[in-house]
Structure 1
Amino acid sequence: MNPPRPYTTSTAFLEALAEAGVRYVFANLGSDHPGLVEAYARARADGRADTFPELIICPHESVAFSAAQGYAQVSGEPQAVIVHVECGTQNIGGMLHNAAKGRVPVLVFAGASPFTQEGELPGSRNEFIQWIQDVHDQRGIVRGYTKYDNEIRTGHNVKQLVHRAMQIARSEPAGPVYLVGAREVMEAEVPPQSPDPARFTPIAPAALAPDVVAGIADALAEARDPVVVTSYLGRDPEAVPALVELCELLAVPVIESVPMRLNFPADHPLHWGFQWNTQEPNPLLAAADVVLVLGSDVPWIPLSNRPHADARLFVVDIDPLKEQMPLWHVPAERFARADGRTAVTQLTGYLRGRELDAGAIADRYARATAEHERQQRELAAREQPDGGTITVEYLMACVREAIDDDTLVLSEAISGYQPVGQHLRRSRPGSLIGSGGGSLGWYAGAAIGAKLAEPERTVVSIVGDGTYLFGVPSSAQWVARRYQAPSLTIILDNRGWKSPKLSTLGVHPEGVAAEHDDFNVSFEPEADLPGIAAAAGGAWGRTVRDPDELKGALTEALDAVRSGRSAVLSVHLPPV
């Protein structure tokens, strides 16, 4: 009879993840993870594999992290990432930024260099790299981006640490958390632990105080031209119909500013469009006499696009003062910390018990609808090729026709964010997400995580050619193939970095760079972008230059994805 397997810190750690609702561990394994590798092998050998989360092997850490983020964005359930000491930790840096700024819960575990070198304990140093990777403050690498960091010093309370980390990660404003553990600790035998995960629930949603509800609701009801500005209310898809109900009650139009989610149906008469790096005033925002900022980091850019100085401003947010942003200010008369859906529901309830001016509301609804229809006519007029050249507007119109309402779109189009939003016109809550931050390449892993979260759903990523390369497509496409997570990637291929050019023109519109068209942004000679995916992941791939071929290529690409094969369609646009 074989002796019982040892129960180690690694065993308890993986059990704790499963108890906390983690379905997948996205891992890039290294010399610091023998305890975890052995724990998985023992569980499979003993027929207990289902007691641990499924292990998803990712050849690059940024793909692992963004996959965990994408899963959490779609499902609402945080997943785990395993990376290799301080080197792997630094490789997730950009994606960690996205989760922190996008308020997405992810748990990261990194090993640490062993703390013994003479064989004093199991796991003691036995590879040269373990001296080189021993740094002064490994946790300090991530401390500016995580809500919580800690070191697992003993296996006796490892489950408590995991459940506490997940409780903090899931509590609003949500965000990533980071744990480290040295090999000796993760190899140690410990007694089994059974903490109750139900005792580690996230903080309940915060509500507005009654006087704040009355103050904001009365201001909206008495305004002539109120407007709501939002960016990420749609993190909670159920908050979208709640906002529609409030806005319809008072005929309040909505502007989406730098939206990383679908916050309001784009086909609704009260939808007043999108603004990103808007360099000119938005006349609709400038004319508002009451502005409710409802879940937004950048409701407008003060230098070029702000409300009227006499407008009454209110900020309601899970993070109303942006405490992690050193420079930020909206000159509001009231700031309130509250869950978006809860706050909107409170405002609607109060207004339903208040006398409203039906005539003024009807007039405002008519004016808002006319503006919405004017915008749509203007946008529709742009949805044509420019001679023999494909434009972003035409491409997005074709994509809009090719996909259905249930398709999940990941947008990381950067300089194309505005036309993508304008011409895709997504309307179903939860059907459009972005990275939440500014580090490129999120789409590649996020598409994998999103597909694993909702396998029956079609996933389409819309990215620039620079973003495509930032996503480490060779790694991501291999992972997607291995774990049956196909998606379509559509590349807005202008053969260069358009955003740095636009940034330079924004500061030096008549400078020498503009005069000589000297911006150092070209990607010539052109790479075979679909070919990378075909070589690494067996993906369907094609580059399209002719507008007449575009619709057929989209159909082929979507057919490939729906049959279980990833696809990459690179669409040539006018060169940067």
Structure 2
Amino acid sequence: MTGRTTGPGIAQEPRPDQDDDLRGSAAAQRYLAELRALGVQTLFVNAGTDFAPLVEAYAQGGSAIERYPVPVLAGHENVAAGMAHGAYLMTGQPQAVMFHVSVGTANAVCAVINAARERVPMIVTAGRTPILEDGALGARDTAIHWAQEMYDQAGMVREVVKWDYELRNAGQVEAVLRRAVSIASAHPRGPVYLTLPREVLAETAPETDAADPAPPLVVPTGPAADPAAVQILADRLAQARYPVIVTTSAGADQQTVAMLSELCERYAVGVAEAGPRYLNVSADHPFHLGLPTEAFPDADVLLFLECDVPWIARRGEPRTDAFVAQAGLDPLTSGYPMRTHRFDLGITTSAASLLTALEGALADRTEQIPPTRADMLAGRAEDHRQRLQATLPRQGRGPITKAALTQALSEVLDDDAVVFNEYWADPRILRRRRPGTYFYLPAAGGLGWALPAALGAKHAAPDRTVVAAVGDGAYLFANPAACHHASAKHGLPVLTIIANNERWDAVDASTRSVYPGGIAVRMDESRLSNLAPQPAFARYAEASGGFGEEVTDIDQLRPALRRALHAVDVEGRQALLDVRCAR
């Protein structure tokens, strides 16, 4: 069915209340049909006793069943929510998930935090244990319904969602869902939370008048850059000796990748990436300076565009005399309780709006741009590439390091492949070039994200090669049995590559950072980070019908990667490489 776009990010379909099969139907049927009408193609679920009205609705669907979201079952809530996250990254459309009452929500909180920090418009729904103890269809009928009720179920996620509500009457279904989708989709986007009591889902919804359809859902546009602020910023960028645009997440809006690249090249502005979580600019950009800390000693004008943490003082910060601008949908990053990085100019704007406005303003200032600036920036970018190249291992020699693994992966992937990176794949070495082909662990660091997200991406884009690059600790967090089960059940062949050093590196690195000369470092204290002995991870994939292989020899790394990609792309089955890496 062809959708119709009625607002940013929303492709609606014909409303279900025009179909006689849904007149006077149960609220559960109207709920499913309204989700689909609002552009939600898939409902990722982990079900429980509260789902009975939905099970019946799917069974009774009749000719209306094509107007319901396709249900995708996952064996754990974190997997379901992670799949929804990955599907959004592929489609740009709001996604919906549903969990089992309070306990299901509790299992999914980590994934909801990830979605909140990355501004993912996710409609997070959960059953609510039946309100009534007796006397209505859907009332309590098992002892667990008393124990699972909470005084404030939504309180578990209220701090990180944009809106929460409880469906109170069958007649509210359409209005409540329309508000949920519109709030989730409005900038800055993010998840919302809706609880669904079982009795309400089982109620008969009032009939609607097909001659009086609801108006199309329209989502407010994002904020535009203030014209006066743009002029100030353009003056600074044009006249600077060493201007740099630093970004972390501008590429979340994929149209900005070409915009940023062209603006920097046309007007001789350097570009650097601070912990990039998206592909923000091609790795081959002639003025790509690498890490912002490499530019800080010389940069006299810095624009931090969609950078939630623009710098970490102990690792390097802008010069005190540098002009610093911060811009984005929320330049203060107001969702973070403390974040006090200085700035001389702040602009609330979408990245696309600012880059469009800057393009026009800089076009009027080309005569102000120092004529030698482009050559200087190109030289600095080449210096960065040479320094990075010098750190890479020689092919086929030495232990398997994370850098060696990343380099090998970059050589075997095609340009259209999508990589979900949970820690080890250095984007400077991976060198992705196309928008939407690289995603990093969300800012909140909720582990177990990459593999579920890769599965959701594969579901939304079945013709793409999808890779989950995870560490051994992150893989364990992902509920791997549930992930491989979902891959086999729904026909989602993704490649999982585990950089396995039998440790939680983040724990050790944090200890070295805080106590560089401490006893723990001298003694190699590892009781809180050592994960040995590890299971035979390759068998996890094999148990679900996939290809699995353990790699211990660097000479076998590239052949193993090609065998695994063949299993995924040609044989159509999931694959896992357990790569035993040096610490």
- TM-score, normalised on structure 1? 0.94
SS at match of 2:314: coil
Contact 1:320 1:336 in 2 (8 A): yes
Matches within 5 A, 1:409-448: 409-413=419-423, 416=424, 420-437=426-443, 438-448=445-455
Once the two structures are TM-superposed, the CA of residue 377 in structure 1 deviates from its matched residue by 2.3
1:136-186 per-residue CA deviation (whole Å, 9 max, x = no partner) reads 100111101101100000111211111111111111111111100111111
Of 541, 557, 564, 1:533 maps to: 541
Matched, 1:41 2:31: no
Matched, 1:384 2:394: yes
Once the two structures are TM-superposed, the CA of residue 270 in structure 1 deviates from its matched residue by 1.0
* 1:189 match: 204
SS at match of 1:467: helix
Matched, 1:82 2:88: no
Could you list the runs of 5+ residues in structure 2 that have no partner in the other structure?
A: 1-20
* 1:400 match: 410
* 2:259 match: 242
Matches within 5 A, 1:139-538: 139-193=154-208, 199-274=216-291, 282-357=293-368, 360-361=370-371, 363-381=372-390, 382-384=392-394, 387-413=397-423, 416=424, 420-437=426-443, 438-520=445-527, 521-535=529-543, 537-538=544-545
Opposite residue 114 of structure 1, the aligned amino acid is P
SS at match of 2:290: strand
* 1:279 match: none
Matched, 1:548 2:555: yes
Measure, in 1, the Cα distance between the counterparts of 2:81 and 2:186.
20
Contact 1:254 1:270 in 2 (8 A): yes
* 2:18 match: none
SS at match of 2:145: helix
Once the two structures are TM-superposed, the CA of residue 392 in structure 1 deviates from its matched residue by 1.6
Once the two structures are TM-superposed, the CA of residue 6 in structure 1 deviates from its matched residue by 5.9
1:381-420 per-residue CA deviation (whole Å, 9 max, x = no partner) reads 313268441122221111111011111111112xx35xx2
Once the two structures are TM-superposed, the CA of residue 9 in structure 1 deviates from its matched residue by 1.0
Opposite residue 52 of structure 1, the aligned amino acid is Y
Opposite residue 237 of structure 1, the aligned amino acid is Q
Measure, in 2, the Cα distance between the counterparts of 1:86 and 1:430.
34
Contact 1:100 1:175 in 2 (8 A): yes
Matched, 1:93 2:112: no
Opposite residue 100 of structure 2, the aligned amino acid is H
Percent of counterpart pairs with the same letter? 37
Measure, in 2, the Cα distance between the counterparts of 1:5 and 1:422.
56
Measure, in 2, the Cα distance between the counterparts of 1:15 and 1:47.
12
Once the two structures are TM-superposed, the CA of residue 197 in structure 1 deviates from its matched residue by 6.9
1:182-209 per-residue CA deviation (whole Å, 9 max, x = no partner) reads 1111100012447867643222122112
1:353-381 per-residue CA deviation (whole Å, 9 max, x = no partner) reads 234235x24x2221222222222223223
SS at match of 1:541: strand
RMSD over equivalenced CA pairs, Å = 1.7
Once the two structures are TM-superposed, the CA of residue 89 in structure 1 deviates from its matched residue by 0.3
Could you list the runs of 5+ residues in structure 1 that have no partner in the other structure?
A: 276-281
Measure, in 2, the Cα distance between the counterparts of 1:20 and 1:5.
18
Once the two structures are TM-superposed, the CA of residue 263 in structure 1 deviates from its matched residue by 0.5
SS at match of 1:254: strand
Contact 1:285 1:306 in 2 (8 A): yes
Contact 2:127 2:195 in 1 (8 A): yes
Contact 1:256 1:274 in 2 (8 A): yes
Contact 1:258 1:299 in 2 (8 A): no
Opposite residue 398 of structure 1, the aligned amino acid is A
Once the two structures are TM-superposed, the CA of residue 4 in structure 1 deviates from its matched residue by 9.4
Opposite residue 337 of structure 1, the aligned amino acid is T
Measure, in 1, the Cα distance between the counterparts of 2:447 and 2:350.
28
Opposite residue 135 of structure 1, the aligned amino acid is M
Once the two structures are TM-superposed, the CA of residue 318 in structure 1 deviates from its matched residue by 0.6
Measure, in 2, the Cα distance between the counterparts of 1:104 and 1:5.
33
Measure, in 1, the Cα distance between the counterparts of 2:450 and 2:118.
14
Of 26, 30, 33, 1:8 maps to: 26
* 2:4 match: none
Of 28, 37, 41, 2:46 maps to: 28
Moved more, 332-341 or 5-14: 5-14
Contact 2:467 2:494 in 1 (8 A): yes
1:509-567 per-residue CA deviation (whole Å, 9 max, x = no partner) reads 111111211132111112111211221x2111111010111111011000000021111
Measure, in 2, the Cα distance between the counterparts of 1:66 and 1:4.
31
Once the two structures are TM-superposed, the CA of residue 273 in structure 1 deviates from its matched residue by 1.1
Opposite residue 290 of structure 2, the aligned amino acid is G
Measure, in 2, the Cα distance between the counterparts of 1:478 and 1:356.
61
Measure, in 1, the Cα distance between the counterparts of 2:533 and 2:323.
53
SS at match of 1:82: strand
